[in-house]
Structure 1
Amino acid sequence: MSRQDTARGASAAIGAALYGLATRAARRLPRDMSLTSAATLATLDRSGPRRITDLASVEGVTQPAMTALVRVMEESGLVERRGDASDKRVTLVYLTETGASYVRTRRQAGVHAFERLIGELTGDEVEALMAALPALKHLAELESQDREGPKR
């Protein structure tokens, strides 16, 4: 087996493990809102105010669907729409303090769930995860760049 085949096999195995972990983690999240709503709030938390068209693109939904989603989140006090100071024709969606608090609470619940599971690993397994942290953080950055594209 060539070095390239070994690397491809390792990438596939790691990808499958990460995907499985992410999928199971998403299923454990509170069901108080749709995954698209939660993801949209997280995007706004990470990247700041965005146009509805940008949010639709990032979240992989149509612009009318995102408009409806933003309307519901606005009625719930999670986001607000404001004009762009640099271009009066543009309206941006902003995360409110209530929305930011929701994102923090949801994120912390996920962190605590993983902390409990990590507590069940062996010392060697925890060390292996610690050694992998820089690569995992870089992978998260690459995924975020790929998913969100350039900020407009």
Structure 2
Amino acid sequence: MNSQLQDIVTECTRASDESRMSFPEVVGALMKAGVERYYTDLIRSEKIYYMPDGDNIAVAARPIGIEPANEFDPADVEAAIRAIQAKKITYHEFCRQIMAAGCVNYIVSLSGRRAVYLGRTGEAHVEPFPGAN
């Protein structure tokens, strides 16, 4: 793994945490760098970025500071997605809202153009990227 890629994924993580980059900007930067997908562990406050060959980089993220709900509520996850897309909330607030909806991690597939939000017992909400339908 080269240091330039390490710098890009670290900056994307920090810029998201600090609301300096929107999701579309992060996706664009990661795609340009060749990242295939990333996994966000909301409990561990960590993102793992994967390249097509399986090489990966783990980056610490800003802790969210709440416990996730026991029950997964896909409607509340979707409402948080719509709120961040409308720029009504920050990324940190988005993470707080999806955790309150029972989400513990999510996977973003850049090549698949979708995000999958997961609950404690495997429940899922699949969200295609805007315009990817």
TM-score normalized by the length of structure 2: 0.24
TM-score, normalising length: structure 1? 0.22
Higher helix share: 1
